[in-house]
Structure 1
Amino acid sequence: MIVDWIAACWQGIGLFFVHPVFYVSIILSLFVGYLRVKKERHDFTIRINGLFQELRQLLPLGICIGVVLSILTMGSGVVIPFAAIALMSAFTILLSLTFQIRLLSPAYIVGLSFLAIVFLAGRKVDIPMLSAGFQNLDKAVYPGLAVLLGLLLLAEGILISNGGSKRPSPNLVVSKRGQVVGTYKARKIWLLPLFILVPGGELAAPIDWYPVFTVGELHFTPLAIPMLIGFAKTVQGSLPQKAIRTEGRKVTFLAVIVTTLAVWGNWYPYLSIGAVVLAMLGREWIHYFSKMQDRKLPFYFSQSKLGVKILGVIPHTPADKMGLEMGDIISKMNGLQVSNEHEFYRALQKNRAHCKMEVIGHNGQIRFVQRALFEGEHHELGILFIEEGRKDRSRVV
């Protein structure tokens, strides 16, 4: 019995690499990277992070969380009808075509699939190669699908909290007062390999109570499918790490409530519908409320009276190696007080072999950083500033 299940799981893995969502995720990651690089070159005349940054972040964290979710879904016996898998794939591709990365949330992808099944159950559906899957829908509410939504929403919250704030992209915008200020945009895409039990096949339930969230069929086929999760957020009123992690915690809290309702939906089907609707409305409310809260705050990356505020630090540059961070304020350079980027650059020229800065951190504490400079490095420290009085772009020092 165990050998049969292991062999079937290995066969199910093959579907992951031929699934269209797998290739859509790669294309979408490259396209998001292209748009980011194009914007960075327009604002700062340079590329801050590589074109393949989003592609490199696509799988590593997603694999870890996907393995954990697969253990939970397979262990508890969450059985998903084939029609639901087809609908999730279709909605993933359709929402990807909008290039609105935030819409690639499980709340929308799985939620729309669940509601579509509620509508299509019992109806004649004539879709080439998929008609049989829809004809096998024997009921309108599948609690296992609501449980899957809750678990994937939990994965989204964890991904946002742990990976959403890594290397966000700085942008320049013009405020209502006509001043150029800085914002940060995070657009992340993760791909989770997830094992799903589909009704039908030759594998029988290994124990009497398995599966817990059944669809009525006692024989199953395990399939590994790619689940695409996207996140997008623009931050102007605070440090991006703080705002993004706060949103991640809110999504996680929502996921706990949704999953709890979905589990009870196995015995009270209407709770499954309530869990799905709550997930969709709650995820939209979190996005809208966070956006409105951020817009009420003054621009965090604007001119400071204390010195020159760092908009960003280019990776692997002298500034990065000195431990400078976005949001730090440089009050002195080589012993000279600086209040704008021109004074900073003149003070930097005072000693081309060495630089010493007095920096005010995010907590208001003053620290000193210094470093010997090699030939040419005084021109390329790797710090992004908003150039005072300039309307189109910032200055890179």
Structure 2
Amino acid sequence: MVQEWLLELLVGIGRLFIHPIFYFSFLLAVVVGMLRVNRERKDFDTRVYDLYDEVRYILPSSLLLGLLLSIITITAGITLPLDLLSFIAAITIIFSVVGFRLLSPAWTIGLAFIIFVVSEQLGWTFISYEGLSFNHLLLTLAVMIGLLMIAEGVLILKRGWQGTSPRLIQSPRGLKVGVHVAQRLWLVPVFLVIPVGDLSAPFSWWPVISIGAENYALILYPFLIGFVQWIKSTLPELAIKVTGKNIIAAGVLTLLFAIAAYWQSMFAIVAVVFAASVRFWIAWRHYSYEKNRHYFFTPQPRGVMILGILPLSPAKKMKLKIGEIVYKANGVEVNTETEFYAALQKNAAYCKLEVIDIRGEIRFVQGSLYQGEHYELGLILAVEDEPYLKEAEM
């Protein structure tokens, strides 16, 4: 039996590489990267991150989570029919075209759950589950939403704030100000049990949530999770980590409601409605909070604020950080981008900066420069156009 299960695990992994979502996610990440690069070039005349930055985040950061979830799903025997999984994949693709900020499990799987319930009540049959328990399928879906919401929150908390893209927009007062946009796609491969195949139950209690099947197979199913958040009033790391923690809490509560459905099936519906509603509330709460707050990345009365830092640049090696204010370069006070780079040219080989960090404390930063590198320090500054400033002074 052990040999049969090991072989089925390998076959399940192979099924990942023939699933359309697997390839669609990489294509979507490339398209998102192209749009981001075009916007960055428009704002700053250079790209901040390369075209494939979104692609790099798709799998490495989510593989461990997928493994942890797979241990849970295989141990519990989480079983879903292939028709239902295909329907979830179709909703995922449609949502990603509309806007991949919709790619939360609370909405993709939640919508599949709601349509499944409504179609059953109306007598429409488009998902085959003959011989399987309808109530236990709902319970299984609710459990998966809870587990994947927790995974979504963890990914946002740990990785969502890394590599946010700076943007320039016009404030209601007509000033050019900076914002940061977090946009990520994660592919979370999770082993699920499907009610077709040659495997038999290895234990009398398995699967924990029995849907009435007798033979099983395994599939490594790619769940696609998307995240988009605009930040204007604070540092990206602070705002995004709050969102991640809120989603983890919502996922835990959803999972508790789903577990309660083991004894009372109505709680499966409660869990799904709760998950979709709270996920919407989390997004709306951030939007409402940001709407009424002042912009953080703005021209400063003293010094120039760092809006972005190019990867592998001298500024990155000097450990400068987004949100810090450079007020002296090579001993010269600077208040505009022109003054900043003019001060750098005072010393062709070495750069000394006096910086106010995000805690308001002064620190000194220094590093070697090479010939021709002055304008490639790697800093994107939150400064207003100087012609505009001259007009304002007149």
Give unpaired runs (5+ residues) of structure 2.
389-394
Assess, with a 3 A threshold, how the Cα gap between structure 1 residues 50 and 136 changes in structure 2: closer, same or farther: farther
1:360 corresponds to 2:384: no
Out of 312, 320, 327, the residue aligned to residue 323 of structure 2 is 327
Return the letter of the residue paired with 2:10. Answer: W
- How far did 1:139 drift? 2.0
- How far did 1:135 drift? 4.6
- How far did 1:350 drift? 1.9
User: Which runs of structure 2 are paired with 1:257-272 in the superposition (5 Å)?
Assistant: 257-272=253-268
Assess, with a 3 A threshold, how the Cα gap between structure 1 residues 183 and 391 changes in structure 2: closer, same or farther: farther
Residues 80-121 of structure 1: CA deviation (Å, up to 9, x unaligned): 2323212111111111121x1110110111111111221233
Q: Give the secondary-structure state (helix, strand or coil) at the position aligned to 1:8.
A: helix
Distance 1:13 1:125 in 2: 33
TM score, norm. by length of structure 1: 0.94
Assess, with a 3 A threshold, how the Cα gap between structure 1 residues 136 and 41 changes in structure 2: closer, same or farther: farther
User: Which runs of structure 2 are paired with 1:230-241 in the superposition (5 Å)?
Assistant: 230-241=226-237
Distance 1:378 1:368 in 2: 18
- How far did 1:57 drift? 1.1
User: Which runs of structure 2 are paired with 1:289-308 in the superposition (5 Å)?
Assistant: 289-308=285-304
Distance 1:351 1:7 in 2: 65
The answer on whether the counterparts of 1:143 and 1:269 sit within 8 Å (CA) in structure 2 is yes
- How far did 1:273 drift? 0.6
Distance 2:167 2:283 in 1: 20
Out of 331, 347, 352, the residue aligned to residue 351 of structure 1 is 347
Q: Give the secondary-structure state (helix, strand or coil) at the position aligned to 2:275.
A: helix
User: Which runs of structure 2 are paired with 1:334-345 in the superposition (5 Å)?
Assistant: 334-345=330-341
Counterpart in the other structure of 1:112 = 111
Distance 1:339 1:124 in 2: 69
Return the letter of the residue paired with 1:113. Answer: A
Give unpaired runs (5+ residues) of structure 1.
393-397
- How far did 1:6 drift? 1.5
User: Which runs of structure 2 are paired with 1:86-235 in the superposition (5 Å)?
Assistant: 86-98=86-98, 100-121=99-120, 133-135=128-130, 138-139=133-134, 142-235=138-231
Greater alpha carbon shift after TM alignment, 79-88 vs 135-144 = 135-144
Counterpart in the other structure of 2:74 = 74
- How far did 1:202 drift? 2.1
Counterpart in the other structure of 1:395 = none
Return the letter of the residue paired with 1:356. Answer: K
The answer on whether the counterparts of 1:322 and 1:371 sit within 8 Å (CA) in structure 2 is yes
Residues 182-229 of structure 1: CA deviation (Å, up to 9, x unaligned): 000111001111111111322121111111112122321111111101
Residues 257-298 of structure 1: CA deviation (Å, up to 9, x unaligned): 000110111111100110001000110110010111122221
Counterpart in the other structure of 2:32 = 32
Distance 1:136 1:338 in 2: 74
The answer on whether the counterparts of 1:41 and 1:47 sit within 8 Å (CA) in structure 2 is yes
Q: Give the secondary-structure state (helix, strand or coil) at the position aligned to 1:65.
A: helix
- How far did 1:126 drift? 6.6
- How far did 1:134 drift? 4.7
Return the letter of the residue paired with 1:13. Answer: I
TM score, norm. by length of structure 2: 0.94
Return the letter of the residue paired with 1:40. Answer: E
- How far did 1:305 drift? 2.0
User: Which runs of structure 2 are paired with 1:10-89 in the superposition (5 Å)?
Assistant: 10-89=10-89
Distance 1:190 1:82 in 2: 22
Distance 2:261 2:283 in 1: 26
Percent of counterpart pairs with the same letter? 39
Return the letter of the residue paired with 1:108. Answer: W
Q: Give the secondary-structure state (helix, strand or coil) at the position aligned to 1:142.
A: helix
Return the letter of the residue paired with 2:37. Answer: V
The answer on whether the counterparts of 2:132 and 2:211 sit within 8 Å (CA) in structure 1 is no
- How far did 1:166 drift? 1.0
Residues 298-342 of structure 1: CA deviation (Å, up to 9, x unaligned): 101001123111111111111111111111101111112222222
Return the letter of the residue paired with 1:139. Answer: F
Assess, with a 3 A threshold, how the Cα gap between structure 1 residues 184 and 241 changes in structure 2: closer, same or farther: same
Instruction: State the superposition RMSD in angstroms.
Output: 1.7
The answer on whether the counterparts of 1:144 and 1:266 sit within 8 Å (CA) in structure 2 is no
The answer on whether the counterparts of 2:190 and 2:221 sit within 8 Å (CA) in structure 1 is yes
Distance 1:205 1:219 in 2: 7
The answer on whether the counterparts of 2:131 and 2:213 sit within 8 Å (CA) in structure 1 is no
The answer on whether the counterparts of 1:301 and 1:327 sit within 8 Å (CA) in structure 2 is yes
Distance 2:45 2:129 in 1: 53
Return the letter of the residue paired with 1:27. Answer: L
The answer on whether the counterparts of 2:149 and 2:248 sit within 8 Å (CA) in structure 1 is yes
Residues 215-244 of structure 1: CA deviation (Å, up to 9, x unaligned): 122321111111101000110000011111
Counterpart in the other structure of 2:250 = 254
Q: Give the secondary-structure state (helix, strand or coil) at the position aligned to 2:161.
A: coil
Return the letter of the residue paired with 2:8. Answer: A
Return the letter of the residue paired with 2:238. Answer: K
Counterpart in the other structure of 1:2 = 2
